[in-house]
Amino acid sequence: MAGGRAFGETLIGAGLVLLAGLVILETAGAPASPLYARVGPQAFPYAVGGCLLLLGLALVLRGLHGGGRDGVAEPDLAPVRARPVLWLLAGLALNVALIGEAGFILASTVLFLCVARAFGSERPLRDGLAGLALAGVAYAGFAGLLGISLGRGLIERLF
């Protein structure tokens, strides 16, 4: 299909351009606080919209010029293995279920354990300790440094 058009890439690129337009329009319509002199809460959504726009345009152009195949045969894709996907879904579901009562640190630790297992780790103690440490640092950063409350769970009440 080299030299031709890649319809799928062009369509996805056009969708990204539309999404970027929506993000930029919604951000422009959001009220700006006079408390921010230079960089306000709209800076990040504008940056995301701009990046989506650039990526979408690049994908549209690539699709119109034949796509990324360059005459090379499509690679054989490995079949999706269900077990890792189920571990990821279980981690997300457990995180949502636990975060209210158990708190951010424990819920995030369980999520970390499930994600590590999905990626093939067979060392749950090490993974649990790493997840606990990362979740603790994240909680301390948000609560202590930024003043953002992530909830008051079992471990968080100790601090």
124 is a domain residue: yes
77 is a domain residue: no
Gap between the Cα atoms of 144 and 61, Å rounded: 46
List pLDDT tens digits, range 130-155: 999 999 999 988 887 877 778 788 88
Give me the number of domains the chain comprises: 2
2 is a domain residue: no
pLDDT at 2: 46
Same domain for 56 and 90, yes or no, is: no
Mean pLDDT of all residues belonging to the chain = 85
Same domain for 98 and 58, yes or no, is: no
Gap between the Cα atoms of 5 and 24, Å rounded: 29
List pLDDT tens digits, range 88-100: 999 999 999 999 8
Same domain for 149 and 86, yes or no, is: yes
21 is a domain residue: yes
Same domain for 98 and 148, yes or no, is: yes
Same domain for 88 and 151, yes or no, is: yes
72 is a domain residue: no
Same domain for 87 and 152, yes or no, is: yes
Same domain for 99 and 149, yes or no, is: yes
75 is a domain residue: no
Range of the domain at 11: 7-64
Same domain for 48 and 103, yes or no, is: no
List pLDDT tens digits, range 46-74: 899 999 999 999 999 988 887 765 555 55
76 is a domain residue: no
36 Ramachandran zone, left/alpha/beta (phi>0; psi -120 to 50):
beta
70 is a domain residue: no
